[in-house]
């Protein structure tokens, strides 16, 4: 049996677990190609105009996998809890909650696997995965063994993006969603363009959880709110603004992102007290020339 995984959305954080889980159950895994013009166009054609760019790209990946596997994995991301402490609960964007329902309603012919993904104390909760394995015809022992193996692989998985290495070069912190930062088609090769100017890069994933928490703690209490990825970005921006290696900060945001839109000014305003910060938004009509102009102006300012 073949299971397809879209290379989009939170694939960038959890692909190691998903891949290992299905392989441990004895299934073949098919992953969609890196985003290219074909996948982007497919997404633009079939998604909804008010959606953010990453969601349009997600559509393209799912539809590019039609006919290539028996099932397509579209997990439903629910909550991310640091601990059993109810005050520290965080949630994923409503699109990640609604995605399996959206695809099931619009494409009833798709056979979707839709485990509800939750976290407790930083670990993916087992039950939905055990149920999924049983739904696919495996027994309890096989399900548990696959979950354990996948959890181990996830724990040891290297970052999808090459980790920051301190090689003495000036550093630019690039803060943004994983599905924007690590998708070159979506971000118009932003990271390559920065490196080509001689800078090293730290992304949101190069800052420690403690540093992000500390940074987040500097925001006024009323700005704390419950989006998991947004909270990490705001904590990372503040952490970057205190990092003596960081020369400037680029905040990359998908145009039309609801969670980002509400908080952007608060943390950027605070970070600007310490470092130059530029905010660049991306959508399907963002062009190479516009991006280069913004970057040139920013790097001139850093000189």
The residues binding ligand SF4 (CB under 6 A) are 52, 54-55, 93, 95, 177, 254, 257-260
Shortest Å distance, C-beta 244 to ligand SF4: 31
Contacts from 264-269 at CB under 8 Å and sequence distance 24+? 266/219, 266/220, 266/223, 266/234, 267/219, 267/223, 267/233, 267/234, 267/237, 267/238, 268/237
CB of residue 275 to ligand SF4, shortest distance in Å: 24
Contacts of 111 (CB under 8 A, 6+ apart): 70, 71, 72
**Cβ 147 to ligand SF4 shortest distance, Å:** 26
Q: Which is nearer to ligand SF4, 150 or 280 (CB)?
A: 280
Q: Closer to ligand SF4 at the Cβ: 93 or 240?
A: 93
Closest of 149, 206, 144 to residue 23, by C-alpha: 149
User: In Å, how far are 171, 175, 271 from 268, measured between CA atoms?
Assistant: 18, 11, 5
Of 229 and 277, nearer to ligand SF4 (C-beta) is 229
Look at residue 79 and give its three-state secondary structure.
Answer: strand
**Least Å from the CB of residue 100 to ligand SF4:** 14
CB of 173 to ligand SF4, least distance (A): 19
Residue among 58, 244, 271 nearest 175 (CA): 271
Report the nearest approach of ligand SF4 to the CB of residue 52 (Å). 3
Q: 164 or 223, CB closer to ligand SF4?
A: 223
Q: CB-wise, 40 or 93, nearer to ligand SF4?
A: 93
Closest to ligand SF4 by CB, 42 vs 136, is: 42
Q: How far apart are CA 291 and CA 114, in angstroms?
A: 37
The b-or-e profile of 86-101 (16+ CB within 10 A means b, else e) is: eeeebbbbebbeebbe
Q: Which of 96, 90, 89 is nearest to 10 (CA)?
A: 96
């Amino acid at each position: 049996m073949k299971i397809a995984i879209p290379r989009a959305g939170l694939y960038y954080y959890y692909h190691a677990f998903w891949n290992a889980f299905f392989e441990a159950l004895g299934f073949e895994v098919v992953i969609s190609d890196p985003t290219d013009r074909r996948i982007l166009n497919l997404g633009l054609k079939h998604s909804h105009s008010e959606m953010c760019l990453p969601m349009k790209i997600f559509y393209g990946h799912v539809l590019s996998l039609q006919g290539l596997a028996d099932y397509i994995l579209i997990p439903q991301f629910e909550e991310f809890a640091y601990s059993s402490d109810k005050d520290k609960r965080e949630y994923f964007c409503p699109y990640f909650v609604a995605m399996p329902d959206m695809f099931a309603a619009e494409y009833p012919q798709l056979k979707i696997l839709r485990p509800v993904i939750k976290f407790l104390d930083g670990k993916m909760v087992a039950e939905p995965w055990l149920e999924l394995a049983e739904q696919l015809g495996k027994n309890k022992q096989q399900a548990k063994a696959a979950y354990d193996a996948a959890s181990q692989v996830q724990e040891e998985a290297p970052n999808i993006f090459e980790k920051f290495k301190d090689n003495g070069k000036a550093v630019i912190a690039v803060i943004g969603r994983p599905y924007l930062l690590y998708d070159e088609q979506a971000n118009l090769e932003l990271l390559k363009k920065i490196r080509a100017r001689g800078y090293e890069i730290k992304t949101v994933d190069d800052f420690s959880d403690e540093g992000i928490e500390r940074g987040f703690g500097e925001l006024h209490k009323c700005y704390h709110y419950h989006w998991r990825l947004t909270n990490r970005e705001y904590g990372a921006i503040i952490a970057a603004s205190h990092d003596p290696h960081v020369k400037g900060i680029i905040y990359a945001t998908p145009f039309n992102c609801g969670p980002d839109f509400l908080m952007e000014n608060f943390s950027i305003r605070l970070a600007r007290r310490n470092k130059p910060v530029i905010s660049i938004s991306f959508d399907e009509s963002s062009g190479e020339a516009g991006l280069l102009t913004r970057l040139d102006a920013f790097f001139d300012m850093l000189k």
